[in-house]
Structure 1
Amino acid sequence: MGGRPPGPRSLLLAEVAQATQRLADAGVPSPRNDAEELAAFVHGVKRGELHSVPDPDFDARYWEAINRRVAREPLQHITGRAYFRYLELQVGPGVFVPRPETESVVGWAIDAVRAMDVVEPLIVDLCTGSGAIALAMAQEVPRSKVHAVELSEDALKYTLKNAEGSRVAVHQGDALAALPELDGQVDLVISNPPYIPLTEWEYVALEAREYDPQMALFSGDDGLDTIRGLERTAHRLLRPGGIVVVEHADTQGGQVPWIFSEEEGWADAADHPDLNNRPRFATARKARP
């Protein structure tokens, strides 16, 4: 057979292959992705540039990072960053790490706001955490005015860091009593609230159960306590015809739209699937008088 013999494989790529197997054996859901992300983080390169790291530059701190991930510490806590749509966010202990499934929730909301006949839409993100939703809305709806509300002081540190230099106005406070000065004026209210039933604690992934703040995960025996409160807050904040968008668990499909009932002043309540075709978020429109 002709052709050139394959070149030597870089030490880093060999280590990444070993790390992938270790992570897989530990039950990490995305071992290859995490092994490469940690290698890129430790060596200060992009994932696509890992092959270019010279053997002498291999950093033994890579295995320290892998060991932390084997112990199920979230990837984002190790790197201190999370990616959400077109954003890179600072995250760490005390703040909920944004999940990919929320990106489809925000995508729907962005389309809904763009379809409104409003020059400078007013948007409120309740339970904002890292600020991922609010910042994505501000970035992708350029003339919008966005307010983000977070109760936790620990989470708020990250919200403020991520929102620095943006148009997002950050408020510390209870989402259920937030922003009375905006009552009846808001075009869209969006939230990724806590929605896991307390009875499901043992089934929650270790990364979330041990590292995400409990107040960002659990909400009563059926998981819907906060959403019930948000229903009244959203109705108070929205103008007639304004829209609410609320993320929920895929097992709660069909339950959440009933909270936004016609009797409570809502119209067009509906559930929507995520990219895996699982019920992921509910929307409703504030009925006109």
Structure 2
Amino acid sequence: MSSPATDKLASEISSRLKAAGIKDAEKEADELLCLSLNISKSALYARDFSKVTGDAASVLKKLDSLTARRLARQPLQYIAGEVEFFGLSLTVGTGVLIPRPETELLVEILTGILSNKHKPNISVLDLCTGSGCIALTLAKHFPESIVHAVDISETALKYAAANAAANDIKNVTFYTGCLYEPVACMAFDVIISNPPYIKTADIDLLEPEIALYEPVEALDGGTDGLHFYREIIAGAPGHLNEGGIMAFELGDTLAHSVMEIARAAGFHNLTLKTDYSRVERFLIIA
């Protein structure tokens, strides 16, 4: 493939994505082109096509196929089959929630708090683990820790286990079940969760990439979006060690409602933190 040819292809794909109402069409066109050529974005921008495999016809056929999937609003992360999260490369696909930058920020905040405590051998419980992004990041950052991760979805846990193996992270144990049920007799220094928090009635109003493709069980937080916060906070006293910490990612507009739930359960050392858009997105309970 030549530079003029790839430039023309990127422009054509970008125009098609824009016409379909897809944001960041130029960036996504480049990513689809990279996937079709099997090269990195840095190679594309440097116009280095020395490692391209396959002839032009096969590249075009693959590009058409990938573009059709994106025009059908399948998430780009599912098309690529992976996502970067806090330095880890994680496999994602149908049946598992795509990790978001906001969740990276939650991990960054918690990692900073735990590092200041100078306690490397912590025990962690990650509830609603999904792809395992939180559990695996904490396990890698604190290699002397023991991390336990729970999800009700066997499909999601297959991704999580594969991600642990691919990143050579061995200090994580995954459990299938509902919240605390698989760890009924255990207590932890940290309980962390990015639970489902979309109101049931709002799910169909989400972007097609989410509403049509991401697993509803990873989205649906009940009528008011607070179901899992109530369950996790109510069960925490029996599973949180003395001096332990809880950390949550919060749905839009839910911050103060979750704080009220925590106060009603007897927790009073509460700290809200904002995300990149200055939305109150995270709650730390110490």
TM over 0.5: yes
Show the counterpart of 2:197.
Answer: 195
Equivalent residue letter for 2:282: F
- Residue 174 of structure 1 aligns to a residue whose secondary structure is coil
Question: Mapping of 1:1-289 within 5 angstroms?
Answer: 9-50=3-44, 51-53=47-49, 57-58=55-56, 59-60=59-60, 61-164=62-165, 165-166=168-169, 167-183=171-187, 186-261=188-263, 263-285=264-286
In the TM superposition, what is the alpha-carbon distance from 1:57 to its structure 2 partner? 4.5
Show the counterpart of 1:4.
Answer: none
In the alignment, the residues of structure 1 paired with residue 237 and residue 19 of structure 2 have an alpha-carbon distance, to the nearest angstrom, of 48
TM value normalised by structure 1: 0.89
In the alignment, the residues of structure 1 paired with residue 41 and residue 3 of structure 2 have an alpha-carbon distance, to the nearest angstrom, of 16
Q: Deviations over 1:118-164 (max 9, x none)?
A: 23011111100000111111122232221111111111111111112
Identity in percent = 33
Partners of 2:121 and 2:142 within 8 A in 1: no
- Residue 52 of structure 1 aligns to a residue whose secondary structure is coil
In the TM superposition, what is the alpha-carbon distance from 1:63 to its structure 2 partner? 2.0
Partners of 2:120 and 2:142 within 8 A in 1: no
Partners of 1:16 and 1:36 within 8 A in 2: yes
In the TM superposition, what is the alpha-carbon distance from 1:116 to its structure 2 partner? 1.9
Q: Deviations over 1:83-141 (max 9, x none)?
A: 11111111111111111111111111111111224230111111000001111111222
In the alignment, the residues of structure 2 paired with residue 131 and residue 221 of structure 1 have an alpha-carbon distance, to the nearest angstrom, of 26
Equivalent residue letter for 1:175: L
How many residue pairs were aligned? 275
In the alignment, the residues of structure 1 paired with residue 37 and residue 225 of structure 2 have an alpha-carbon distance, to the nearest angstrom, of 41
In the TM superposition, what is the alpha-carbon distance from 1:22 to its structure 2 partner? 1.4
CA 1:38 to 1:233, structure 2 compared with 1: closer, same or farther past 3 Å? farther
Q: Gaps spanning 5+ residues in structure 2: where? A: none
- Residue 147 of structure 1 aligns to a residue whose secondary structure is strand
**Bigger Cα displacement from structure 2, 130-139 vs 108-117:** 108-117
CA 1:140 to 1:17, structure 2 compared with 1: closer, same or farther past 3 Å? farther
In the alignment, the residues of structure 1 paired with residue 48 and residue 177 of structure 2 have an alpha-carbon distance, to the nearest angstrom, of 47
Q: Deviations over 1:36-56 (max 9, x none)?
A: 222222222111111222798
In the alignment, the residues of structure 1 paired with residue 257 and residue 272 of structure 2 have an alpha-carbon distance, to the nearest angstrom, of 9
In the alignment, the residues of structure 2 paired with residue 144 and residue 13 of structure 1 have an alpha-carbon distance, to the nearest angstrom, of 48
Partners of 1:10 and 1:53 within 8 A in 2: no
RMSD: 1.8
- Residue 150 of structure 2 aligns to a residue whose secondary structure is strand
In the alignment, the residues of structure 2 paired with residue 176 and residue 143 of structure 1 have an alpha-carbon distance, to the nearest angstrom, of 23
